[in-house]
Structure 1
Amino acid sequence: MPLLARTVNTPLAIEVRRGAVAELGRLLADRRISGGGDVAVVIGPGQGERIAELIRPGLGRADLFTVTGGTLDSALELGNRLRQRSYDAVVGIGGGKTIDTAKYAASRYAIPMVTVATSLANDGIASPVASLDHDGGRGSYGVHIPIAVVVDLDFVENGPDRQTQAGIGDALSNINAVADWELSHRVRGEPIDGLAVALARTSAVALLNHPGTITDDAFLTTLAEALIMGGLAMAICGSSRPASGSCHEVSHAIDLLLPGTASHGEQVGLGALFCTYLRGDTAGFDQLRTALRRHGLATRPSDLGLTDDDFVKVVAHAPATRPDRYTILEHLAMEPEQIRARLADYVDAVGDDK
């Protein structure tokens, strides 16, 4: 009998709104995730007291765990603490480091995970991947996707603008990642997943064309949905392909050669624009440049404090960061002097900030 459909794991609930943290107990009960509030709530060190006050009325039986977050050691330590009691779910509340720590610990001991995002810096809020530091480097670890995803716009609005700008760069870079995947499909016959492509690209295009700014709830909701859909696209195809292409290779190379340059989202946004130029997509380049500038993101290496020499080295090294992945950088296989020439043309094409 032919396979006529497939089963796709998705969260039971996705909510993007204000006041979500305070009503977390109701959400968990309504979705039958936890009727009695027997959950482990994982929070970061920054906003712990405020979050504890907000959730206490609805989750009086919850245990609170504060983590420094972002490292494999902290995730393993959290996992050991979670084994001391039976929980209905692990609820990670905070930014990417806290959520990734909670995702890894929950997956390790097969406990359902609920993401409550208080910032929109990257697509980790719903992805099947946890990025954790270990032994001086950063590794990506496969985890279960969250059983529910909640974004509280009150916290997002009050957080640093730079975190939200980084999320915009990360979400928009999906357009470039999908173009790289399609290139590999045409040139090398790499299998492509149309559903994953549709989720990643359409949500990113919606953000690209949205007229609002980070001060608008409607825009923040579209950003949150784009990041969530990017994460689900990865879960659907079992790979980071729909959200990670040449743009991410550039960012990984920056992290390796020039650590601390900028946030992940800022770096992949710049990488996506440069690689879109290399691909010869004039219309896509113009649209992406306009969107990055409108939201205060980098469009030239110098915007991130990188010299031309720095960026040439970064682009030359980028393919080595993902040797299994075929992108526009592998396709062109440029030597340093070729990269330098293309970079000069790119900077001219970008123009000034006006």
Structure 2
Amino acid sequence: MTLGRGWTGGQNFRPAREVDVVYGHGLVNSESANWPRYVAVTTPTAWKTAQPYIAQQPAGVSAVSMLDWDHLEDASNALPDDAEMVIGIGGGTALDASKYVALKKDLPLRLVPTAVSTGAIIHGVFANWKGHSTVGDSEFWPYCDFEHVLVDYELILEAPWYLNTAGIGDVLCMYSGISEWRNQAGVGDTPPVDQELIRPTLEYYRDLSAQFPKTLDSQGDLTTESVGFIMKSIHERDDRQLTSPYASGAGHSLTQVLEEVLQTGLIHGEVAALGGVAVCWAADDYEELVGFLDECKVRYRPSDMGLEKDQLRAVFDYAKDFYPARGIDTILAREPLTDSRFEDFWKFIQSV
């Protein structure tokens, strides 16, 4: 298979369904013994966790803290130029940073996630970040397809459980698009909801929430089966989610809003889940999504995420302008969660 890459044309990245994901025990140790001379792009915590699993140490390591391109350029320049491969090790930040470095150095790339928490594991596209804001859209973003992904069960189970269940949050948050459509159809602003079109997606989300608890052990902890289940849901999500001009992805996009406002990133899938719940609450259609998230042990309550009331208020204040500026039609802009509506939402999200 030909792997694509380029500094623009991000929408041309290889479809997720074609990504080679390798599952197993001891994978990092066995494969790293045969890696050519390589450099690692990671984060401090991920590198500390992964090191005992690696049989052959890299020629250089860059530990990144954000995705700003000036920062990534420094990270790339700090690595030796005689490597033959780039290995991305960590969560979404590290994996997207490794795509930048591999593209910059024109080297093949492999990914070693330390948590199954984000779509960065299966997407070659990565955003152009200036500070904590993205620039442009996927048409002008770069992409770097990678050789394969190693899902090493023992390595991933070292992560806190909520980092891994956040991966399902990144999938289930897209339920909010269905709620957006139902809301708009209810007031006559869109055609009636196409029940046959949304049915497979709804059935998929319902099946995820019914089957995931069966993967847990007798104490309710994650198992290797849980890791495989979450990763599979991430791998197939692009083909499973609803595609319709009436089903906004605004819930998921709250991740960008929060990053711009707070100048920091929380756990991506948890913020996406919170965004999904906010959309569904505003559309008065939240009960099913909340049930899905609770069944799948996804954190979405601000108190669990370390998000203060005034911080969230600022996020939603900014959201009412963020979405229209990017051409996203959403209830979070038409009926923003500001002033008394924010107070009502805060009471809800604290008590749900």
Q: 1:133 to 1:216 in 2, by over 3 A?
A: same
Contact 1:200/1:226, CA 8 A, preserved across alignment? no
Contact 2:46/2:89, CA 8 A, preserved across alignment? no
Contact 1:19/1:152, CA 8 A, preserved across alignment? yes
Of residues 211, 218, 226 in structure 2, which corresponds to 1:219? 226
Match in the other structure for 1:326: 328
- C-alpha distance in structure 2 between counterparts of 1:64 and 1:182, whole Å: 54
Match in the other structure for 2:315: 314
- C-alpha distance in structure 2 between counterparts of 1:302 and 1:160, whole Å: 13
Contact 1:14/1:148, CA 8 A, preserved across alignment? yes
**Equivalent residue of 2:63, what SS?**
coil
- C-alpha distance in structure 2 between counterparts of 1:23 and 1:302, whole Å: 37
Q: Is the aligned partner of 1:159 residue 2:159?
A: yes
Trace 1:1-354 onto structure 2 (pairs within 5 A).
9=15, 11=18, 13-24=20-31, 37-44=35-42, 45-46=44-45, 48=47, 51=50, 54-56=53-55, 63-69=58-64, 70-71=66-67, 72-80=69-77, 84-85=81-82, 87=84, 89-130=85-126, 134-135=130-131, 137=133, 141-177=141-177, 206-209=207-210, 210-211=212-213, 212-213=215-216, 215-230=222-237, 245-259=249-263, 262-281=266-285, 285-294=286-295, 295=297, 297-299=299-301, 304-307=306-309, 311-322=312-323, 323-329=325-331, 332-334=334-336, 336-337=338-339, 339-340=341-342, 343=345, 347=348, 352=351
Q: How far 1:263 moved relative to its partner?
A: 2.6
- The share of aligned pairs that are identical, in percent, is 17
- C-alpha distance in structure 2 between counterparts of 1:244 and 1:76, whole Å: 34
Structure 1 length as normaliser, TM-score?
Answer: 0.69
Structure 2 length as normaliser, TM-score?
Answer: 0.69
- C-alpha distance in structure 1 between counterparts of 2:247 and 2:27, whole Å: 27
- C-alpha distance in structure 1 between counterparts of 2:337 and 2:247, whole Å: 26
Q: How far 1:152 moved relative to its partner?
A: 1.5
2:146 counterpart letter in structure 1: P
Residues 55-79 of structure 1 show CA distances to partners (whole Å, capped at 9, x for unaligned) of 43xxx6x843311213423432454
1:76 counterpart letter in structure 2: E
**Equivalent residue of 1:23, what SS?**
helix
Provide structure 2 residue ranges, at least 5 long, that are not aligned to the other structure: 1-11, 192-196
- C-alpha distance in structure 1 between counterparts of 2:199 and 2:108, whole Å: 27
1:221 counterpart letter in structure 2: G
Contact 1:40/1:82, CA 8 A, preserved across alignment? no
**Equivalent residue of 2:173, what SS?**
helix
- C-alpha distance in structure 2 between counterparts of 1:19 and 1:218, whole Å: 15
Aligned residues: 316
Provide structure 1 residue ranges, at least 5 long, that are not aligned to the other structure: 1-5, 27-35, 190-194
Q: How far 1:242 moved relative to its partner?
A: 12
Contact 1:293/1:299, CA 8 A, preserved across alignment? no
Contact 1:181/1:327, CA 8 A, preserved across alignment? no
**Equivalent residue of 2:97, what SS?**
helix
